[in-house]
Amino acid sequence: MYYLLLLLALCLFVNPCPSDPRATDPALICSNKTSLPQRDTFKRNFFAAMETMTPLIATKRYAAVVNGTGNTTVYAFGECMKDLNNTDCDLCFAQCQTQIFGCFPVHKATSGGRLFHDGCYLRYDDYPFFNEALSAQDRTVCGAQDFVGNGSVFSANVNQLVMNLSVEAPKFDGFSVGSVNNGNVTVYGLAQCWEFVNGTACEDCLANAVTKISSCTPKEEGKVLNAGCYLKYSTKKFYSNSTESVINSNQGSKLAIALTATSTALALLLVIAAVVFIVRKNVLKRRRERKQLGAMLATVNNSKLNYKYEVLEKATNYFHNSNKLGQGGSGSVFKGVLPDGKVVAIKRLFFNTTQWVDHFFNEVNLISDIHHKNLVKLLGCSIAGPESLLVYEYVPNRSLHDYFSAKRKFQLLRWEVRYKIILGTAEGLAYLHEELETRIIHRDIKLSNILLEEDFTAKIADFGLARLFPEDKTHLSTGIAGTL
């Protein structure tokens, strides 16, 4: 209540700014699958996932959440357009959470749903879609009104605009806005890739969107709703620009002095309130951690494997896209530099581990003791922050996949180098399968999981990842695993 009164007082001294969360023209796409096993459990997991997403959206403006186990697990993702301010982001996402219920009829629940607004996006499904950039349910939505004027100039401007946006967005954290004005015809546009889509996948997603959106001309508006990105053009400017409030100098010096004094006093009060809020938040956080993690928290904090979440977050420049090394089904990997100058690779996992922290930490403890020249070393983890992180040694020569990808211009590998890589991979697998007391079966050997040192020594990555996922009964599994 105290903070609310302060905000109300501030509002008396600033010009009102109309809110525009752009929760308009919703496009709701529901999955066709309706024969869900344990439908009620799936619904409960869905509501729990939505509740978890709200504070993440408020702090990070996007959220990736997994809730539940087995065939009732709910995977959910939401994100705001990056030009929205925090207030509009919260409002847009709140409306998304309400309207996504359209995929939940009274007597049944679809296994998935997507809701696109002009300001935000929300999706849930019964499988881990976080590495998806394109899917069969992608849509192209065209406006109702035809452009009145020179149609050929309009179409040319649209094509030039969406092409520019598709090239610029992957360079700038997956987001770009802009306009094209030729022949007195102006067209505005916005492109955004979702947070879990990496650079190459972002490029592919937007290139696909550019191809599709051309079918909308000569309509005044068009947009493509892909699994990994969003692209829109319009004859009306619909995106937001950051602006500064300017006091009208005609109001007189007395009013300016009064406003300055009032603003200073309110700023001081806000600083005091912020300090109280932060201290109280930290106290509540520590209480919550003790309650959730119990006796295990002391063990984790005192372990050499424990890294503070804040240290890893800062090491990656707050998980900036420029430090992103790759993307997989279980999470995204970032390059990080620790305070002592050591370079590491940090994997952000797409699931929350507070419910099975004992299992998770014990597995990390086990795998971190495995040493072999052909296995990537697991250095530790962070499990007390808002998301779970794994810390690996940094392998500088990227993955074997990069050397066989047409999209990356890497040197060709000589046959003797290829033989060295094959032999190193085989030695690493033999060590996991035959020499360890606790044998580990990788189940996901592929080019992107073979990393290369500077001298092209092969190192197998993610060899313990299957053990890190909770299973109902045992680690021994005959189910299909890995990459299709």
Q: Is 243 helix (H, G, I), strand (E, B) or coil?
A: coil
Residue 290: its H or E element: helix 253-293
166 within 8 A of 191, measured Cβ to Cβ: yes
Cα separation, 25 vs 48, in Å, equals 27
- 52-61, 132-141, 390-399, 433-442 — which is least confidently predicted? 433-442
pLDDT value at 465 more than 70 = no
Active site (annotated) includes residue 444 = yes
Dihedral sign from CA coordinates of 76, 60, 364, 397: positive
Report pLDDT for 24: 77
Report pLDDT for 167: 93
Cα separation, 282 vs 436, in Å, equals 42
Rounded to an integer, the average pLDDT of 237-252 is 50
Report pLDDT for 394: 95
In the chain the first and final C-alpha atoms are separated, in Å, by 53
State the amino acid at position 190 in one-letter form.
L
Q: Which of 118, 444, 455, 472 is catalytic?
A: 444
Query: How much is the pTM?
Result: 0.50
Q: How confident is the model at residue 248 (pLDDT cuts 50, 70, 90)?
A: very low
Report pLDDT for 115: 93
Report pLDDT for 253: 44
Most confident option among 103-112, 351-360, 405-414, 439-448: 439-448
Report pLDDT for 81: 93
Query: Which of the pair, 352 or 4, is modelled with greater confidence?
Result: 352
461 within 8 A of 429, measured Cβ to Cβ: no
Rounded to an integer, the average pLDDT of 78-95 is 91
Greatest CA separation found in the chain?
84
Report pLDDT for 370: 87
Number of C-alpha atoms within 13 angstroms, CB side, residue 43? 13
- Average pLDDT, rounded, for the chain: 80
Query: Which of the pair, 336 or 248, is modelled with greater confidence?
Result: 336
pLDDT value at 256 more than 70 = no
Q: What is the pLDDT of residues 5-42, one digit of tens each?
A: 444 343 444 444 455 788 877 789 988 665 566 777 88
Report pLDDT for 457: 96
Report pLDDT for 16: 40
Q: What is the pLDDT of residues 263-278, one digit of tens each?
A: 777 878 888 888 888 8
Rounded to an integer, the average pLDDT of 277-287 is 74
| Phi, psi torsion values for 232, nearest 5 degrees | -145, 145
Provide the H-helix boundaries in 308-403. 309-315, 357-368, 400-403
State the amino acid at position 283 in one-letter form.
V
Q: What is the pLDDT of residues 391-440, one digit of tens each?
A: 999 999 888 988 887 666 777 889 999 999 999 999 999 998 888 877 78
321 within 8 A of 173, measured Cβ to Cβ: yes
Number of C-alpha atoms within 13 angstroms, CB side, residue 108? 10
Rounded to an integer, the average pLDDT of 375-391 is 84
Share of the chain above pLDDT 70, in %: 76
